[in-house]
């Protein structure tokens, strides 16, 4: 269990877990340990297997219990909270660089369809979704979102920026905005440029038919590395969840684990 849910990770996650539901009629069986369930979910995120392949003996948790608890916690909005807690720890340790952020998306095939799926323009029109992400200068994911595969990247730029939670951890006002934002030509729209500038962000987007996207290569590699980190969590490589909220939950878990690994490398 320590491998999949280390003590430091459990310390941050435990206070955020919703309390157990109490049956009005009483007589409920003893609740399975939350840490064991969280470890099973982290294993599932990294291994990428389906629920029915979860090794029950490894965690002492039945597949039905793990899936039911995951659904409860997803409905309660738990999963973005550990990611934010990790960002706050990184902010306190001066590990977040807000001077520059980079935004991009990646296509994921949806094996079972569901909401927020659409014909993928890069996968012969098969159903798929997109993971949109914004990373800070070092590549740590700040905020993510899920959309249908045929959603234009530009349509998700403002929702991604406005969905960024306030990250505290140091003296002064919490940060919600980077100083500068880099993006490729897919985000080149005049209206978007104006709205981003109104938010006090310096913009650097390659212009269509004017600039080469290769000029952004020295900054774009950061978000490519972020996507590579996320894709190491095999549950994100294919979308097996019919509900977009469940798939977005796995994305948030992967982001929290990426940030946790950065924290774990800090000298004690």
**21, 144, 180, 182, 203 from 219: Cα distances, Å:** 47, 19, 11, 7, 13
Residue 212, pLDDT above cutoff 70: no
Domain of 188, in residue numbers:
80-264
Q: Name the more confident of 192 and 250.
A: 250
Q: Are residues 59 and 191 in the same domain?
A: no
Q: Are residues 84 and 151 in the same domain?
A: yes
The radius of gyration of the chain from alpha carbons, rounded to an integer in Å, stands at 19
pLDDT of residue 172: 82
**Residue keyed to tokens 């799926």:** 117
Is 202 a member of any domain?
yes
Crossing angle for the helix pair 244-264 and 80-92, nearest 10 degrees? 20
pLDDT of residue 9: 85
Percent of the chain with pLDDT over 70: 90
Handedness of CA 31, 36, 42, 44 (dihedral sign): negative
Final residue of a domain: which of 40, 60, 75?
A: 75
- Here the CATH number for the domain that contains residue 242 is 3.30.420.10
Q: Are residues 45 and 171 in the same domain?
A: no
Q: Are residues 84 and 70 in the same domain?
A: no
Is 2 a member of any domain?
no
pLDDT tens sequence across 223-267: 999 999 999 999 999 999 999 999 999 999 999 999 999 988 766
Contacts of 8 (CB under 8 A, 6+ apart): 260, 263, 264
Q: Are residues 132 and 184 in the same domain?
A: yes
Q: Are residues 153 and 48 in the same domain?
A: no
Q: Are residues 124 and 50 in the same domain?
A: no
Domain count, the chain: 2
Q: Are residues 24 and 96 in the same domain?
A: no
């Amino acid at each position: 269990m320590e491998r999949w849910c280390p003590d430091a990770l459990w310390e941050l996650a435990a206070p955020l877990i919703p309390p157990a539901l109490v049956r009005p009629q009483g007589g409920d069986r003893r609740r399975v340990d939350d840490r064991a369930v969280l470890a099973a979910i982290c294993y599932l995120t990294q291994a990428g297997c389906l629920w029915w392949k979860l090794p029950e003996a490894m965690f002492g948790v039945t597949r039905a219990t793990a899936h039911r608890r995951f659904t409860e916690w997803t409905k309660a909005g738990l999963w973005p909270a550990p990611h934010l807690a990790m960002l706050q720890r990184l902010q306190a340790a001066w590990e977040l660089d807000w001077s520059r952020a980079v935004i991009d998306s990646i296509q994921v095939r949806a094996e079972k369809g569901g909401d927020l799926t659409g014909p993928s323009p890069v996968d012969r029109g098969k159903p798929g979704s997109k993971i949109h992400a914004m990373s800070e200068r070092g590549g740590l994911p700040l905020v993510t979102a899920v959309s249908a595969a045929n959603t234009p990247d530009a349509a998700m730029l403002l929702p991604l920026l406005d969905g960024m939670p306030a990250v505290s951890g140091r003296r002064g006002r919490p940060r919600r905005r980077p100083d500068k934002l880099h993006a490729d030509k897919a985000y080149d729209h005049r209206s978007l440029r104006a709205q981003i500038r109104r938010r006090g962000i310096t913009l650097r987007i390659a212009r269509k038919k004017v600039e080469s996207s290769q000029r952004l290569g020295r900054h774009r590699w950061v978000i490519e590395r972020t996507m590579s980190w996320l894709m190491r969590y095999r549950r994100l490589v294919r979308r097996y969840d019919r509900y977009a909220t469940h798939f977005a939950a796995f994305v948030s878990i992967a982001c929290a684990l990426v940030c946790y690994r950065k924290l774990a490398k800090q000298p004690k």
